[in-house]
Chains A and B, each alone.
Chain A
Amino acid sequence: MSLKKIFNSSTGRKAAMGLTGLFLISFLVVHCAVNALIFLNDGGDTFNRGAHFMSSNPVIRTLEIVLFLGVIWHIVQALVITRTNQKARPVAYAVVNANASSKWYSRWMGLLGTLILMFLIIHLKHFWIGSRFTGLQSGMILIDGREYENMFGELKLVFSKGIVVIIYCLAMVSLAYHLLQGFQSSFHSLGLKHKKYTPVVETAGVWFSILVPLIFALMPVSIYFGWIS
């Protein structure tokens, strides 16, 4: 069977969603870990060094491209699958009691994903575009005699607006629910089911879905309220 056929099959697409999903989850871990450096509360020095490493290391830069491809693939697959799924039920039910059989967020992955995508665009505009192309509004900063981009300053600037903080927090709620379904679902789609390990994966998934978005959300909140400076 050709690879093309496999990736065009429903099961192949599922696997692709799962695989890209797990990849994006692994990105979240790294992203979260680096950003959490702000909680060291050292005026952003360590964080700025970390950000510099992430934007200058050739391996990371290559992975960044893979990451974008992963996001795009995840989205394209989602769109294709959604279209097939809509075609599979041309006449809708008059009455649906969906909550009797499934969790709402498992059914609204598309919507949650769209919200996350919208957030992603805002988020990239806030930080990534400046860093890569236009230069940060906060310019450069000297740390131990070396010049770094002042990413920490950019954070403080962006998160000084209440509305931005609220948008970020809401986005993290979407992310939490997206992960709550997506984490274990990725394993399921890849056929990784085991009577001993699946419960571990499921528990880990729940904790991951709560902790990672929570840590992310704490960043704008902490900066807005000046808990870190």
Chain B
Amino acid sequence: MTLDAKIPDGDLEHKWTKYRSTIPLINPANKRNLEVIVVGSGLAGSSAAASLAEMGYKVKVFCFQDSARRAHSIAAQGGINAAKNYQNDGDSVYRLFYDTVKGGDYRSREANVYRLAEVSANIIDQCVAQGVPFAREYGGYLSNRSFGGVQVQRTFYAAGQTGQQLLLGAYSALMRQTGMGTVQMYARHEMLDIVVIDGKCRGIIARDLISGQLERHFGHAVLLCSGGYGNVFYLSTNAMGSNVTAAWKANKRGAFFANPCFTQIHPTCIPVTGEHQSKLTLMSESLRNDGRIWVPKQKDDPRKPNNIPEEERDYYLERRYPAFGNLVPRDVASRAAKERCDAGFGVGTSKMAVYLDFRFNRKRYGHLEANKQGNHHPTDEEVWKLGKDVITEKYGNLFDMYKQITGEDPYEQPMRIYPAVHYTMGGLWVDYNLMTTIPGLYALGEANFSDHGANRLGASALMQGLADGYFVIPYTIGAYLSQEIRTKAIPTDSEAFATAEQNVNETIKHFLDLKGKLPVDHFHRELGKIMWNKCGMARNEAGLKEAITEIRNLREEFWKDVRVPGAANEFNPELEKAGRVADFFELSELMCMDALHRNESCGAHFREEYQTADGEALRDDANFSYVAAWENKGNNTYEMHKEDLKFENIKIAQRSYK
């Protein structure tokens, strides 16, 4: 099978506009008979569901949480990019496109990224109209800030809760449609399989998590907006429930999984404190606007950070990357932190942390505020106090969060941070229409692979989720559904539905009958350790091969010895977890295979064998300028298909932030 990305012809600048105007339309009467299933209610899912319902489709939305508003998009902190050029600093659609492709280390599809940059401005308009309270300047205009990997200010934000505000905007649109009856909401429902009939996706099997009943739902199209798979590492910034199950079941039914090894490790997270740790908390990238990252120049320096004089601090990002300094992209910042800690310069009790220090900018802000207030000779205390107010306004919730978790006051001493798994650039392979390799099955947002290449820039995930949901799928789905207007709803008592439900039932029964000894979390934690150590920030051939063996052994043990208490027909969180971890066990092996086959370093994928003399990632464009899309052949065997990446509008260069 050859992969056809269905990229429209024509100039990059006009592809989307022209294509959008030529997609077949569906008359409103027919739309009312077309049913669309949306799995996941985050930014991509909520925005897609609301938009499709507004257009007249019959929509069903499924989420495993108790409300659509809980989806993990809610936790995104820093902001959302858009090429508005409000700051008059030279931003443009092309520059956002360019930054994103470069930030992704030239492993993303040009046409998709350009479209993303094009619609980015509409997203801000839409959200403001919904009542999203973005930060504003005193004149009443929208405010912007900087994010990593770019040199313009194009990030819109709402304190450190941008994801929350955007999701609540999309959620409110979704609730409006639900109230009008155009959307049927299925909260506390988990999709456990998709149903494929005659090569087309025709529905899903979902479990009502309260009653435990399996349900069959028909749809002319199914949209997977189920997020990323970072929880394969057990410890990540993802929510506890974030999982790969929806995407993985699709992979098992024929949807290719693209670039699974591209996982983003976020540089600024609160370090692990012990074995009990269940999740890691991100400290927004926006903090790097005002925080400076450093370690002591002396190994095992016993002094408190505030007692270490300026000249004995190593601001290693500013030293290594003078052009971008603390605002280098995430992959670069993470690796640099790991390098310092591995070399023995780490701080804190675990020595696996670096400092993120606000003292310098707090003073700077203090002086600025004093000046604004007409106080041109402020005392040090006044400066310190005024500076704190500015920092509080910008990052108050993050500072509070840090204090809650660590018990230390970040206003008085630098934060201790360390990289942690955050986002997955890989995902289901989709074409320009966001359709997977199964006709009628789409993947949106983090669940697909399309826009971020090998590394995502900060504040771009929110942009992509909403772009896919509000402004891409409402058009592109017409290309498929216009051919389906004659398809009557398929009765869910048909054989395909029955078989799919039977399969799900058997898996559940198997788990409950096992009566093993060890809890699901035990296996998940062990799997996470293997992945973090051998398929994490740095990978090598030997380690990946070991990891594959270890995963296989652990998986075998899991299927023999896991203990799932309770019954199938009740609210049973352990049963839910077991199913999700089972899927992680299969995905993790594929991730290692993908990492092993990609004999280059690019973006977040850093193979130790492939690096420059000064430790930077060494890409191999001649051999690896392609998307690796994996077809599941059953029994943990896969066949790789390549989609070659062509860069016609951008000059490929070594990514440099120096």
The answer to whether any beta carbons of A and B sit under 8 Å apart in the complex is no
Residues of A within 8 A of B (CB): none
